[in-house]
C-alpha cells in the first residue's frame, strides 16, 4: 500500500504540473511553435519556424509534440508531454537495468534517485530537445546493460541490442550525430579500460546498424531531396562548427558543467564515494563467466565521464547538454545505496539538512537580484517560493531521519526522494512569478482582438519565441533575423531586411500588427503611426491602424 501511494505521489507531481506554468523562451516557445506550424501546414518533413526553414535540429521531438497536439489539443501541457514521457522513460529504463544487474532494491533506488535529481526533474518539465535526447539515451544505455547480462539468452540479447540500436536511430532523429557519437565514445572508453574486445562481437552490429539506419535515414533523405541546402547547413554548421568553434556564442569554461552536475545531483552527492567504490570494484560482474566479464558499474561510470568530457571540450555549451550523464549516475547511486549502512545514510541526511537550512537562510538574496531582462519586483515574488522549497527540503530530510529510526533505510530513502521531488517541483512552479510576464501571455488576449488571420505580425528587431505560439500566428522578421538567418537567406521574400522596408510596408501596406522592444518603439513611434495595443516590460504590441481601447 505504501509503495502504491509513493508511486501515485510521484506520478501526480510528474504529470500533474505540466500545465501549471506558461512557456518560457527561447526553447519552450520555439519548439511548441514549430510543432504547431508542422501540424497546421501538414508538412512533417521540412521543419519551419515562423514560416521559415529551420534546420538546426531533426524532427523527432517536434513530431511527438505535434502528435500530442493532435490527440489532446494545442496547449502548454501538451507541448511538455514529450519531455515528461522521455524523462519517465529514462527513469523506468534505468530502473530495469539496475534491477537486472544489482537487484530489485537497487532498481527501486535508481528510480528514486533519478526522478528526484533536480536537473532531471526540471528538464522533464521544460519543452527542450535535451530531455527528449537524454530519455532516449537512457534507453540506449539500459538496453546495452540488459543485453550483456550473463544470464540473458542469446535471443533476448539480440532483441535488447536491436532495441539499443533502434534507440540510437531515434536519437539521430532527435539531435543528430550526437546520438551515435556519445554511445560510441562510451563504448570505446570501456574497451580501452577493460580490453574487452569480445564485447564488440555481442553488439549484433550488422542487423543493428541496418535497423538504426532504417529508423533515421528516411527523414534525412526526404528533407535533403526537398531542400538541397540542408546537408551542408546541418552537418557542417550545426555539428562541426558548433562543436569546434564559438560560432553560436555559447562558450563556457572547461569546468562549465561541474556546478551543473553537482547542483543537479545535489540530494545524492553523499553517495558519491560509495558510487566510486561500486565502479572500481566491478560491482555487478561477480559470477559472470568468460575471460573478461562485463562490468556494468564501470560502463556506467565511463558513460558519465566520457559524455562529461565530450561536452566540456566543446566550443558550444548549454546546461541541458549534460543531462545524458544522469541516468548512469543514478544507476551507480542505486547500486551504492542498496549496500549503504544506516549510519552512513544518516550522515548523508544530516548533511542535506544543513544544506537545506543554509539555502533557507540565504533565500532572501533572491529578492535582491535585478537584471535588464527580469525586474527586481519579479525576483522578490520568486524569493518566497525559493524559501518554501528549501523549507520543504528541510522537512523532507527531517521526515527521512524519523523514518530511518522507525522503519529502516528503504522507507527513509523513499520519503527523502519524495520530499526532494516535492521541494524542487515547488521551486519550479514558483518560477511562474517570473515566467508568466516573460511569456507575454497577458498581451495575447488584447492582440488577438486586433490580429486577424493572414494579417502580418512583424517582429521588429526582435524574435519573440512565445507570443507566436499563444497567438497561433507566426512572426515576420524585420531588420534582425536572429536565429532565423538561415531561413531568411533561403527565402528572402519572407522577411523585411531593413527598417526602411518595414516603414514602407507599415505605412502603405495592409493592416498589420508589430512587436517591438520598448526602446525600438520609442525610436520608431516618433516617425511612424503606431497605435499601442498592449505592452509589458519586454515588448510593445502596436497596430498601423486605430484600435479600440488604445493604450
261-315 tens-digit pLDDT:
999 999 999 999 999 999 998 777 754 445 678 999 999 999 999 999 999 988 7
C-beta of residue 310 within 8 angstroms of C-beta of residue 286: no
pLDDT band for position 321 (cuts 50, 70, 90): very high
Q: If DSSP states are collapsed to H, E and C, what string results for 327-350?
A: HHHHHHHHHHHCCCCHHHHHHHHH
**Average of per-residue pLDDT across 515-540:** 94
- Helix or strand run (H / E) with residue 476: strand 476-478
Q: b/e for 409-432, b at 16 or more Cβ within 10 A?
A: bbbbbbbbbbbbbbbbbbbbbbbb
Cα–Cα distance, 530 to 521 (Å, whole number): 9
C-beta of residue 342 within 8 angstroms of C-beta of residue 271: no
Pairing of strands 52-53, 48-49: antiparallel
What is the distance, to the nearest Å, from the Cα of residue 321 to the centroid of all Cα atoms in its chain?
Answer: 8
- Answer yes or no: is pLDDT of 95 > 90: yes
Task: Give the Cβ contact number of residue 526 at 10 Å.
Answer: 8
Q: Which residues contact 71 (CB under 8 A, 6 or more apart)?
A: none
Helix, strand, coil fractions of the chain, as percent rounded to 5: 70, 5, 30
Cα–Cα distance, 358 to 427 (Å, whole number): 16
Q: If DSSP states are collapsed to H, E and C, what string results for 495-545?
A: CECCHHHHHHHHHHCCCCEEEECHHHHHHHCCCCCCEEEEECCCCEEEECC
- Computed over every residue of the chain, the mean pLDDT equals 93
What pLDDT does 288 receive?
45
Question: What tens digit of pLDDT does each residue of 1-18 get?
Answer: 677 888 888 999 999 999
Cα–Cα distance, 186 to 188 (Å, whole number): 5
Question: What tens digit of pLDDT does each residue of 225-258 get?
Answer: 999 998 888 877 676 666 665 555 556 788 999 9
Cα–Cα distance, 260 to 309 (Å, whole number): 14
Percent of the chain scoring above 70 in pLDDT = 95
- Top-confidence residue, 371 or 210: 210
- Give SS3 for 477: strand
What pLDDT does 217 receive?
96
Straight-line distance from the first to the last Cα atom of the chain, in angstroms, rounded to the nearest whole number: 58
Q: Which residues contact 58 (CB under 8 A, 6 or more apart)?
A: 172, 173, 174, 175, 176, 219, 220
- Top-confidence residue, 377 or 288: 377
**Average of per-residue pLDDT across 362-380:** 87
Claim: this prediction has a pTM higher than 0.85: yes
DSSP states along 389-429: HHHHHHHHHHHHHHHHHHH-HHHHHHHHHHHHHHHHHHHHH
Cα–Cα distance, 354 to 338 (Å, whole number): 24
C-beta of residue 355 within 8 angstroms of C-beta of residue 362: no
Cell of 171: 536519437
Cell of 412: 527513509
Cα–Cα distance, 126 to 61 (Å, whole number): 13
**Average of per-residue pLDDT across 96-105:** 96
- Answer yes or no: is pLDDT of 431 > 50: yes
Task: Give the Cβ contact number of residue 246 at 10 Å.
Answer: 14
What pLDDT does 282 receive?
75
Cell of 542: 502596436
Radius of gyration of the chain (CA): 25
DSSP states along 257-288: THHHHHHHTGGGGGGHHHHHHHHHTTTT-TT-
The C-alpha cell 497596430 sits at 543
Q: Which residues contact 475 (CB under 8 A, 6 or more apart)?
A: 50, 457, 458, 459, 463, 464, 468, 515
Q: For residue 444, which of 79, 76, 27, 77 has the smallest C-alpha distance? A: 76
Q: Which residues contact 356 (CB under 8 A, 6 or more apart)?
A: 390, 391, 393, 394, 397
- Give SS3 for 147: helix
- Helix or strand run (H / E) with residue 141: helix 129-147
**Average of per-residue pLDDT across 129-145:** 97
Question: What tens digit of pLDDT does each residue of 324-351 get?
Answer: 999 999 999 999 999 999 999 999 999 9
Cell of 529: 503611426
Question: What tens digit of pLDDT does each residue of 157-208 get?
Answer: 999 999 999 999 999 999 999 999 999 999 999 999 999 999 999 999 999 9
Cα–Cα distance, 138 to 326 (Å, whole number): 9
Cell of 161: 541490442
- Helix or strand run (H / E) with residue 236: none
Question: What tens digit of pLDDT does each residue of 457-505 get?
Answer: 999 999 999 999 999 999 999 999 999 999 999 999 999 999 999 999 9
C-beta of residue 436 within 8 angstroms of C-beta of residue 22: yes
Q: In what order do the strands lie in the sheet with 531-535?
A: 476-478, 457-460, 513-516, 540-543, 531-535
Amino acid at each position: 500500500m505504501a509503495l502504491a501511494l509513493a508511486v501515485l505521489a510521484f506520478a501526480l507531481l510528474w504529470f500533474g504540473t505540466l500545465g501549471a506554468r506558461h512557456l518560457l523562451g527561447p526553447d519552450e516557445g520555439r519548439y511548441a511553435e514549430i510543432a504547431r506550424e508542422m501540424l497546421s501546414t501538414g508538412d512533417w518533413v521540412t521543419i519551419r519556424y515562423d514560416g521559415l526553414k529551420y534546420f538546426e535540429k531533426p524532427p523527432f521531438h517536434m513530431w511527438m509534440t505535434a502528435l500530442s497536439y493532435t490527440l489532446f489539443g494545442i496547449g502548454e501541457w501538451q507541448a511538455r508531454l514529450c519531455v515528461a514521457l522521455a524523462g519517465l522513460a529514462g527513469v523506468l529504463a534505468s530502473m530495469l537495468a539496475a534491477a537486472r544487474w544489482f537487484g530489485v532494491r537497487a532498481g527501486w533506488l535508481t528510480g528514486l534517485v533519478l526522478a528526484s535529481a533536480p536537473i532531471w526533474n526540471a528538464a522533464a518539465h521544460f519543452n527542450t530537445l535535451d530531455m527528449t535526447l537524454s530519455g532516449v539515451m537512457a534507453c540506449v544505455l539500459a538496453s546495452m546493460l540488459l543485453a550483456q547480462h550473463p544470464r540473458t539468452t542469446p535471443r533476448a540479447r539480440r532483441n535488447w541490442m536491436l532495441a539499443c540500436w533502434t534507440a540510437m536511430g531515434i536519437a539521430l532523429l532527435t539531435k543528430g550525430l550526437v546520438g551515435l557519437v556519445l554511445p560510441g565514445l562510451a563504448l570505446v572508453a570501456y574497451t580501452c579500460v577493460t580490453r574487452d574486445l569480445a564485447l564488440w562481437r555481442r553488439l549484433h552490429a550488422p542487423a543493428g546498424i541496418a535497423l538504426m539506419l532504417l529508423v533515421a535515414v528516411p527523414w534525412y533523405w526526404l528533407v535533403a531531396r526537398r531542400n538541397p541546402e540542408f546537408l551542408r547547413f546541418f552537418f557542417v554548421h550545426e555539428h562541426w562548427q558548433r562543436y569546434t568553434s564559438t560560432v553560436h556564442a555559447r562558450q563556457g569554461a572547461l569546468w562549465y558543467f561541474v556546478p551543473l552536475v553537482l547542483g543537479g545531483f545535489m540530494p545524492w552527492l553523499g553517495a558519491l564515494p560509495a558510487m566510486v567504490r561500486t565502479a572500481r570494484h566491478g560491482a555487478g560482474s561477480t559470477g559472470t563467466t568468460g575471460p573478461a566479464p562485463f562490468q556494468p558499474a564501470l560502463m556506467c561510470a565511463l558513460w558519465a565521464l566520457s559524455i562529461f568530457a565530450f561536452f566540456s571540450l566543446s566550443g558550444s555549451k548549454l546546461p541541458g547538454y549534460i543531462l545524458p550523464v544522469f541516468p548512469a549516475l543514478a544507476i551507480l547511486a542505486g547500486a551504492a545505496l542498496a549496500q549503504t549502512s544506516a549510519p552512513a545514510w544518516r550522515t548523508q541526511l544530516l548533511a542535506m539538512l544543513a544544506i537545506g537550512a543554509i539555502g533557507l537562510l540565504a533565500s532572501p538574496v533572491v529578492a535582491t537580484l535585478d537584471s535588464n531582462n527580469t525586474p527586481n519586483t519579479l525576483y522578490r515574488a520568486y524569493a518566497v517560493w525559493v524559501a518554501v522549497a528549501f523549507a520543504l527540503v528541510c522537512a523532507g530530510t527531517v521526515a527521512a531521519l524519523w523514518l530511518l529510526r522507525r522503519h529502516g533505510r528503504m522507507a527513509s530513502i523513499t520519503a527523502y526522494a519524495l520530499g526532494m521531488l516535492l521541494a524542487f517541483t515547488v521551486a519550479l512552479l514558483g518560477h511562474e512569478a517570473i515566467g508568466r510576464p516573460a511569456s507575454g501571455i497577458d498581451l495575447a488576449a488584447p492582440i488577438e482582438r486586433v490580429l486577424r488571420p493572414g494579417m502580418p505580425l512583424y517582429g521588429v528587431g526582435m524574435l519573440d519565441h512565445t507570443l507566436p505560439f499563444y497567438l497561433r500566428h507566426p512572426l515576420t522578421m524585420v531588420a534582425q533575423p536572429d536565429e532565423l538567418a538561415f531561413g531568411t537567406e533561403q527565402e528572402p521574400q519572407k522577411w523585411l531586411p531593413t527598417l526602411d522596408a518595414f516603414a514602407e510596408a507599415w505605412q502603405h501596406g495592409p493592416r498589420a500588427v508589430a512587436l517591438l522592444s520598448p526602446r525600438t518603439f520609442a525610436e520608431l513611434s516618433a516617425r511612424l503611426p503606431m497605435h499601442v495595443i498592449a505592452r509589458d516590460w519586454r515588448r510593445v504590441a502596436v497596430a498601423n491602424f486605430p484600435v479600440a481601447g488604445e493604450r
